[in-house]
Structure 1
C-alpha cells in the first residue's frame, strides 16, 4: 500500500465522524443484520452521510467475508462482507476499514452498508 496516494481531509474534501445519536437498524430479507445505538455518521465532502455500525452490533452469523478490496486515499483499504440471507443482491454489501487512516480512526471496528444491497437502514 505504500505506492498508493494518501490524502488528508481538508477544506476541499472535508470528512467528519460524529455519533449518530439515534438507533440504527439494518434489515435484509426480513432479518435484522445490525441494531445499534452506537453508530457513527461519517460525512465526506458532498456525499450523503454513511452510518458506520460497530461490528459488535452486527449479527456476524449472517456475514461471509469476501476477497474484495478497495482503496480510498482518505480512509485506507476497505475489505468486504456479503450478507448470506440477501442472495446475489447482498454480495459485498458491507465494507470495513480494519486499519483506517488517523483522520477517521473512529471507524475502526465499524462497518457500513450499501443502501441498495439491503432492504432498509432505519435511523431513529
Structure 2
C-alpha cells in the first residue's frame, strides 16, 4: 500500500516494523503488518489485523462511536481494561484499508515498535 491521503487530512501507510501490544506482562497483539493512520490533531495509531491479535482475550463492549471520516467504530475490552481497542468493521470508502483491524488506546496498554 502506498501512502494514501484523504480529504480529511488522514494519511494511511504500511508499517513494516514489528508492533507489539502488551497489557501489563500479557501480549495482546504482535504484527509486522500494521497500517499506520495519521490524523491531524490526534496521535498516530497502528491498525493491526485481527489474525495478529489474541481476540480470545477481548470482548466487544457497548461503546460505539462515529467518525465522519472513518465511520462507526466497535470497541473492545479486556477483563480489567474497558474500551482498550476499537475497530471500523465497515469504514467509509476511503478507509477500507483499516476495515476489521484493531487500534489500541496507547494510554491503556504498552505499544512497542521495533
The answer to whether the superposition gives a TM-score over 0.5 is yes
Partner residue in 2 for 1:111: 102
Matched, 1:36 2:23: no
Q: Comparing both structures, which one devotes a greater share of its residues to strand? A: 2
Residue 60 of structure 1 deviates from its aligned partner by 1.0
Structure with max Cα Rg: 1
Instruction: Report the RMSD for the aligned CA atoms in angstroms.
Output: 1.0
Helix, strand or coil: the match of 1:105? helix
Task: Say which SS state the counterpart of residue 117 (structure 1) adopts.
Answer: coil
Q: Distance in 2 between matches of 1:83 and 1:23?
A: 22
- Out of 55, 76, 94, the residue aligned to residue 81 of structure 1 is 76
Instruction: Give 1:17's aligned residue.
Output: 12
1:121 aligns to what?
111
Give distance in 1, aligned partners of 2:43 and 2:82: 22
Q: Secondary structure at the match of 2:97?
A: helix
Offset of residue 29 of structure 1: 2.4
Structure 1 unmatched runs, 5+? 1-8
Query: TM-score normalised to the size of structure 1?
Result: 0.84
Structure 2: gaps of 5 or more residues: 1-5
What is the distance in 2 between the residues matched to 1:20 and 1:46?
Answer: 20
TM-score (normalised: structure 2): 0.91
